[in-house]
Structure 1
Amino acid sequence: MELTDLEGAEFRLCDDPASLAQAEGEARAARAHVLRAGWRDPDYAGLRDAGFVIRPDWIMFTREVPEGTDSFLAAQVRPNRTRLAMDALAGYAMSLEDPVTERSYEEFLPLYRAHMGRIHGGLDFAGQLREAVLGGDHLLATWRDEAGALVCGMIARQDRENSLLHVRFLAVREPAPAPATTAGMYAVAASLAPAYGLKTLSMGIEMNFYGAVLSPGLCLYKLRLGGIPVPAGMLGEPDCGLVADKMLGLRGLRQPVLCFEQLPVDGDAPYAPPAAGDLADAARRLRLVCFVSDETDEAAVRPYRRWAQLRRVR
């Protein structure tokens, strides 16, 4: 067994199914947050019966947008906030670059890095993926003020195989031009998708573990935007798969702790992947699980009850 650390969440990894009970006892004694079944070809059904959550390790929030921005707004819990942000962005000069040039990319990076620096656990993914961004299948939308300075911007990838416009990187200067500026940019991306002959908008790929790696509020935000979570592995991310985790404790994590659980489907092999491109089926197979402790503030949990199944961890 190996003790690992992931943004404040302590994991114990068990690599032998015969020692699972022992591994759980040792993990609890060490006050680890999570026990992960890490051996090859695990029995997911048996692990689920033992209290494990079977989940995609990465997800995408998606939305089919045949009518562009109108489709995006129609699915939202609070569409007026996005409309106000779009109105605010309309006061700035927007430009669209396809493909992304090195000069524009280098100008965008400082804005992006400053934006990520204000986010807990924010990483410079745009800087790390330079070659991919400049590889010809990305576009860059930016907004500038009267002085020509960048106000905000986004980089998106055109995925023809999956008919997907994938917003990969967003950045907004401080102070933001409107409270919901990021939602306004997603709405613009929704209008670009059908213009490029693409039917689906992706609002980014995320690690499927909120409360330790990512803020729980990010999950709530994208659900309120009408985002539909699907496993990232079915949308051109071949390294993304399933993991089996058992939550043992929540101390020190930002509660509630959330993840999207992969559900088995009657008549299929346990946890068989959904058909390629069938986002509706993929979404039906996911369930949001909200882990809470006895000390969790009820007010912190209330916004999630609309979407989530609550599970108590002691």
Structure 2
Amino acid sequence: MPRKSRQDVRRAWSHAEGARLRLEVQEPVVEGHLDIFLDLYERRVDDMAYGVAFARQARDSVLHGGDYFAIFAFEGEDLVGGCLCQRSTEFDAVLLRFSAVDPKWRNVSLARVLHTRAFRVTREQGFGRVTLGDDPNLYGHMVKPGLSPFKARLGFDPVPAGTLGPRFSGDVADRLISLDRLTDPTVMLGYTGATDATGETSELMAYVAGANEPADLARYTTHSIRTVRPLTAPAR
């Protein structure tokens, strides 16, 4: 994790501790708290132009599947943020599936507190890997382009979904016709075409459409994405 990101995490924890927020690791997850979190999550998704609220579909699995735990933050008795995490012993990993925080706490980075607490639990439970979830390869519609740099600042790198096994894998091809309904910039991930020792194509690159300055391209480089190219949408 970069030095600036470590400072941001310490600052976020300082805010949370100063406000006397209470963090709870719940395993099993308390049903009443889960329902309050799902309502919060759906309100946050409703604030997105094209967001889709998937979390409630996992409610029964969270409560009865036996492989979930939750990190919840409370201000007094009010739940103000949370993160639902799923263990996968098959892939030696914990997946941070869904997270949301109250708008009041978003600006002081409560999400960083929840995520780093989840990382600690992952280590305590003996798992070797943690993932911040599955994203579409197009940042600029359902999810914003800033999500990718945010995850990179926490020390994460984008990898093909199949890295965690076949049931997470799947490649798609995007046909970009217009940028009219997308954010500026829009970021698309794809393969470089280079192959590894097994003949597989797994090295990723990023295409950035709508960025006006070279610095915009540099934001999307990571340890695994070293090639970033501008992309111009075709004329309509």
Partner of 2:14: 87
| Long gaps (5+) in structure 1 | 1-73, 272-281
Q: Is the 8 A contact 2:148 2:220 kept in 1?
A: no
**Is the counterpart of residue 97 in structure 1 residue 26 in structure 2?**
yes
**Is the counterpart of residue 288 in structure 1 residue 222 in structure 2?**
no
Given the superposition, is the C-alpha separation of residues 88 and 251 from structure 1 closer, same or farther in structure 2, using an over 3 Å criterion?
same
Higher mean C-alpha displacement, 226-235 vs 190-199: 226-235
Partner of 1:297: 212
Bigger fraction of residues in strand: 1
Q: Is the 8 A contact 1:158 1:165 kept in 2?
A: yes
1:180 counterpart (74, 88, 109): 109
1:111 counterpart (25, 40, 44): 40
Larger RCO (alpha carbons 8 Å, 6+ apart): 1
Partner of 1:309: 228
| Long gaps (5+) in structure 2 | none
Given the superposition, is the C-alpha separation of residues 177 and 297 from structure 1 closer, same or farther in structure 2, using an over 3 Å criterion?
closer
CA distance in 2, matches of 1:150, 1:207: 29
User: Where do 1:2-13 residues align within 5 Å?
Assistant: none
TM-score, scaled to structure 2? 0.83
CA distance in 2, matches of 1:178, 1:122: 20
Aligned-pair CA distance for 1:154:
1.0
Q: Is the 8 A contact 2:149 2:220 kept in 1?
A: no
Partner of 1:150: 79
Q: Is the 8 A contact 2:96 2:132 kept in 1?
A: yes
TM-score, scaled to structure 1? 0.64
Q: After the TM superposition, which segments of 4 or more aligned residues of structure 1 sit over 3 Å from their partners? A: 74-77, 244-249, 266-270, 305-308
Aligned-pair CA distance for 1:240:
3.1
User: Where do 1:50-199 residues align within 5 Å?
Assistant: 74-75=1-2, 77-90=4-17, 91-134=20-63, 135-146=65-76, 148-176=77-105, 178-199=107-128
**Is the counterpart of residue 255 in structure 1 residue 184 in structure 2?**
yes
Given the superposition, is the C-alpha separation of residues 171 and 259 from structure 1 closer, same or farther in structure 2, using an over 3 Å criterion?
same
Aligned-pair CA distance for 1:187:
1.0
Q: Which of these two proteins has the greater Rg computed from alpha carbons?
A: 1
Q: Is the 8 A contact 1:189 1:201 kept in 2?
A: no
Given the superposition, is the C-alpha separation of residues 251 and 103 from structure 1 closer, same or farther in structure 2, using an over 3 Å criterion?
closer
Aligned-pair CA distance for 1:237:
5.9
Partner of 1:265: 195
Aligned-pair CA distance for 1:234:
2.8
CA distance in 2, matches of 1:183, 1:266: 34
Secondary structure of the residue aligned to 2:108 is coil
Given the superposition, is the C-alpha separation of residues 305 and 217 from structure 1 closer, same or farther in structure 2, using an over 3 Å criterion?
closer
